[in-house]
Amino acid sequence: MRTALIAGVTGQDGSYLADLLLAKGYQVHGIIRRASTLTTQRVDHIYEDPHNPDVRFRLHYGDLTDGTGLRRILEMVRPDEVYNLAAQSHVRVSFDQPEYTADVVATGALRLLEAIRDYVDGGERQVRYFQASSSEMYGTTPPPQNETSRFHPRSPYAASKVAAYWYTVNYREAYGLYAVNGILFNHESPRRGETFVTRKITRAVGRIKLGLQDKLYLGNLDARRDWGFAGDYVDAMWRMLQAEKPADFVVASGESRSVREFLEAAFGYADLDWQKYVEIDPRYFRPAEVDDLRGDASRLEREMGWKPVVGFTELVRMMVDSDLELARQEQTLKNAGHDITGSG
């Protein structure tokens, strides 16, 4: 049985990847951060009692800012594959917390690579490493962006991802590690964090439709993104670690749409006119914006046969349907007299 270690298992991608690897028969270990409230909602459906000796999904406390802990986890889990999906992944927030973002996103990847390097050097078995790199690294470089396009990061997050990208390449070249970058364009799902623009929109559609909310405040509606489905992107991650030779690949749908177009699609699917509800709040503008991302994933298709399955319209519908259901549940609670604002 193959063993995988996922840093960032409680995130959107980590949870889909855990689903995929368990379905493929892997033993899956995930790293979770200690928090005062539970953060395991996205993996609750696969959680098993750790007292059961046959359990195939286990969680370990750790943090990318704590190298000693990462080393200990690596030695205990003895993985064949390590997926680094952990990050302070919000671009806007990285302008507010640049040092922390760099520590987790850039130095965090380095800590993990260092731990793997020593583990492999110690005569332990081979480990394959996947780094979740980002289309944000391209910044101002015009589309279509592929593996040879120039990086021009526009945020502390993106600059940190560029550093992590090069650490990964360097450990491959310097130490012969099987270490690869997936240059992931935006990918979304019903499990997407609620402060990213797609989910913020579909959450609002659900709540507006059921009368639980009357306004949606957004920033720049002109930005264009290449939006795919997270379930398809974790499949690309896994494929990249199965190849004979390590290499870096763009993972993208090849289509781009503006935030305005996403609004039209999501509100339109629920028979709502977005213009009646959306207001611009400059708080959501970024000090430097990335205007136009559209990836060219032809190398990944050619060499690994990967193509996205879920298209834009299906993705929007999947997210709106899920958030309409969530809003119905909220409404039921509200009707039963529960406080749904979370303010206690």
Residues that bind ligand NDP (CB under 6 A): 7-8, 10-14, 31, 33, 35, 39, 63-65, 85-89, 104, 132, 134, 184, 186-187, 193
Whether 129 has a binding-site annotation, put simply, is yes
* Number of residues forming the site for ligand GDR (CB under 6 A): 21
Q: Any residues with CB less than 8 A from the CB of 80 and at least 6 apart, and which?
A: 2, 3, 4, 125, 126, 127, 128
What's the CA gap between 105 and 7, in Å, rounded? Answer: 12
Helix residue spans in the chain (DSSP H): 12-23, 67-77, 91-96, 98-101, 108-121, 156-175, 197-209, 230-242, 259-269, 298-304, 312-335
Q: Which of 67, 190, 219, 268 binds ligand GDR (CB under 6 A)?
A: 219
Residue 292 within binding range of ligand GDR, rule CB under 6 A: no
Residue 186 within binding range of ligand GDR, rule CB under 6 A: yes
Helix residue spans in 250-307 (DSSP H): 259-269, 298-304
Residues 199-218, interacting with ligand GDR (CB under 6 A)? 200, 218
- Of ligand GDR, ligand NDP, none, which one sits near residue 13, judging by CB under 5 to 8 A according to partner kind? ligand NDP
One-letter amino acid identity for 28?
V
The site string for ligand GDR over 50-89 (x = CB under 6 A, - otherwise) reads ---------------------------------------x
Give the residue at shortest CB distance from ligand GDR. Answer: 223
Q: Any residues with CB less than 8 A from the CB of 35 and at least 6 apart, and which?
A: none
One-letter amino acid identity for 10?
T
Of 128-136, 174-182, 270-278, 320-328: span binding ligand GDR (CB under 6 A): 128-136
What's the CA gap between 306 and 240, in Å, rounded? Answer: 10
- Of ligand NDP, ligand GDR, none, which one sits near residue 195, judging by CB under 5 to 8 A according to partner kind? ligand GDR
The residues annotated as belonging to the active site are 134, 136, 157
- Sequence ranges of the binding site: 129
